[in-house]
């Protein structure tokens, strides 16, 4: 599997991470699967529900957040494909905490936000036995004017 995302949606992910800084920002990826590719079409930015003292290096999305995302995605003819979150002043690699809470098959886009500026995003998928993540290739596309993608 690989992940395809428009440059506009990736900019939205970066903007959310920058707005949340110095805390982790998070949300859900909405799209569909086309062959061996996950196609991200939209995001649902969410508030970090983690307690204030832990938001700088942890995020929490609630069951209600997932339900809201499922409903929004269904209304758009899409599915929830995964999670995006930022790592303030930290590399964009999954932490042990990320692994403990991740679900196989979901894509996890992690964006490093250094001194308040989003730098780079990478995507990860948890392997079935939950022991590690594998990096997933991100293909960034710029849709043609007027295309519905």
- Tell me whether residue 149 is in a domain: no
pLDDT, tens only, 94-142 = 999 899 989 999 999 999 999 999 999 999 999 999 999 999 999 999 9
Helices (H), the chain: 7-20, 63-75, 96-101
Global pTM value: 0.92
User: How many domains are contained in the chain?
Assistant: 1
CATH number of residue 110's parent domain: 3.40.140.10
User: Residue 147 — very low, low, confident or very high, per pLDDT cuts 50/70/90?
Assistant: low
- Tell me whether residue 120 is in a domain: yes
The residue range of the domain holding 39 is: 2-141
Given a cut of 70, whether residue 145 has pLDDT beyond it is no
Considering only CA atoms, which of 23, 100, 77 is closest in space to residue 108?
100
- Tell me whether residue 146 is in a domain: no
- Tell me whether residue 127 is in a domain: yes
Given a cut of 70, whether residue 81 has pLDDT beyond it is yes
User: Residue 148 — very low, low, confident or very high, per pLDDT cuts 50/70/90?
Assistant: low
- Tell me whether residue 35 is in a domain: yes
User: Residue 143 — very low, low, confident or very high, per pLDDT cuts 50/70/90?
Assistant: confident
Run of H or E including 109 = strand 107-114
Given a cut of 70, whether residue 149 has pLDDT beyond it is no
């Amino acid at each position: 599997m690989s992940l395809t995302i428009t440059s506009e949606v990736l900019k939205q992910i970066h903007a959310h991470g920058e707005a949340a800084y110095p805390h982790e920002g998070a949300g859900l990826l909405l799209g569909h699967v086309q062959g061996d590719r996950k196609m991200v079409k939209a995001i649902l930015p969410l508030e970090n529900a983690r307690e204030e003292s832990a938001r700088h290096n942890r995020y929490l999305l609630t069951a209600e957040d997932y339900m809201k995302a499922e409903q929004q995605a269904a209304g758009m003819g899409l599915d929830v494909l995964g999670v995006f979150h930022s790592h303030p002043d930290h590399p964009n690699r999954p932490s042990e905490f990320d692994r403990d809470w991740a679900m196989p098959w979901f894509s996890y886009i992690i964006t490093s936000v250094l001194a308040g500026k989003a730098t780079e995003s990478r995507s990860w998928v948890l392997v079935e036995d939950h022991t590690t993540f594998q990096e997933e290739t991100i293909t960034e596309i710029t849709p043609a004017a007027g295309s519905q993608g």
